[in-house]
Amino acid sequence: SESRSMATKLKNRRAAEAKLGGFLKRVALDPRHASVICDGAVDDSFVEAVAALDETLGFAAESHDDVSFSRDWRSCRDLAPLMEKLRGKATARCGDELLERIDELHRDSSNVHQLQRVRLARLAPLQRFLERHAPEVANHVKDVYVDRMARTLHALFRAYHAELEKLDLAVADRNDVVAVPEDAVRYALTGRVSLAKRGDGFSLGDRAGVLKRMDEPPLLVHVAIKENRRYPFEELFRSSLRHLADAALSETHFVTAFLHGADQSSPAVQSTLQAIFRRAFSATLEHLENKLFACHDAVGLLLVVRLIERARTRATRGPAPTASALDAFLGDCEALVRPRLLTILTQNLEGVKKA
């Protein structure tokens, strides 16, 4: 009976130690983690320490089935000043580090997506910490990211459009209509009519092949220039469109994981993505509008319309925020292209009537 009593006491003591040990591990932060938060480098160990602090702060604010714990407990009151100092230190260091990494993206805009994956993505837990314990800092980080990325993408696509202009192949001009007036193709000095002044704007050739190349990567301008290649309007538009679609998809995944940690279909992700791409879309539409102003290539515009239609269909198969942002942008593109196409077709019709 005495041995049975001692065994029972030992069992109870071990059970108490197990529960108390688990409680202490959750209510008190490991000194090593506290040291890293205060003085350590911002690396994987820092992220781990912040996650541990987050768990400790979260435990102190909750009530659990096995241990009813609250800030009114003496253990919590004694630790409260230290935990508050650690929370403040972690908040300051997390905010400063994230803002610095975001500025790196803007400074090195040629390598944005790689920097996102290598330098920023692994710091997503720091943003989650800020959201829970310093929401005003988290919102500031998000606003700065949106502003920097919006400016970076705007500059990148403006530069890309300018580079694409070097590859432009003029296929048709204002004389490329079905019934061109003789005066438009007559030499001023000799008065002779020359069909050499006309292009071949109505020849399809292999241009429809651009519809099968929608999934191919964007054109590398420096390679095309080196190889002395030129491309018609629809091929340049396809390249620009693919570049935008790739960037939008990449941003959707990153914004979801880094800024929101939520489902891609959430309104917050969609709103952030639209804010990031608003200026890039605007620059692309401005470039398209300028191209259309002097465009007489009916075949090219017909192919562009088909590219837009197929791109809208394909966008619906991807993440909802990407599809939403691209669908609105593609709708704006179509609203610019169709009137110009109608004008060119009307000019051809009028020329036939007068012939």
Per-residue pLDDT tens over the stretch 232-243: 999 999 999 999
Tens of pLDDT, residue by residue over 26-39, are 656 778 988 999 99
Whether 237 and 211 have beta carbons less than 8 Å apart is answered as: no
Mean pLDDT of 323-350: 90
Letter string b/e over residues 289-315, b meaning 16 or more CB atoms within 10 A of that residue's CB:
eebbeebbbbbbbbbbbebbeebbeeb
pLDDT confidence of residue 154: 95
Q: Directed axis angle between helix 267-293 and helix 233-255, to 10°? A: 160
Q: Which residue would you say has higher pLDDT here, 237 or 351?
A: 237
| CA triple 80-136-47, angle to 5 deg | 65
Tens of pLDDT, residue by residue over 273-318, are 999 999 999 999 999 999 999 888 989 999 999 999 999 888 888 7
Backbone angles phi, psi at 218, to 5 degrees: -60, 155
Indicate whether 104 pLDDT > 70: yes
Is the C-alpha dihedral spanning 188, 189, 190, 196 positive or negative?
negative
pLDDT confidence of residue 182: 52
Please give the Cα distance from 278 to 147 (Å, whole number).
Answer: 11
Residues 6+ apart with CB under 8 A from 91: 129, 130, 133, 134, 137
Tens of pLDDT, residue by residue over 193-218, are 454 544 566 677 789 999 999 989 99
Whether 106 and 150 have beta carbons less than 8 Å apart is answered as: no
pLDDT confidence of residue 131: 93
Indicate whether 167 pLDDT > 90: yes
Backbone angles phi, psi at 296, to 5 degrees: -125, 15
Nearest to 268 by CA among 138, 154, 156: 138
Distance from CA of residue 124 to its chain's centroid? Answer: 16
Q: Rounded to two decimals, what is the model's pTM?
A: 0.79
Is the C-alpha dihedral spanning 9, 10, 11, 15 positive or negative?
positive
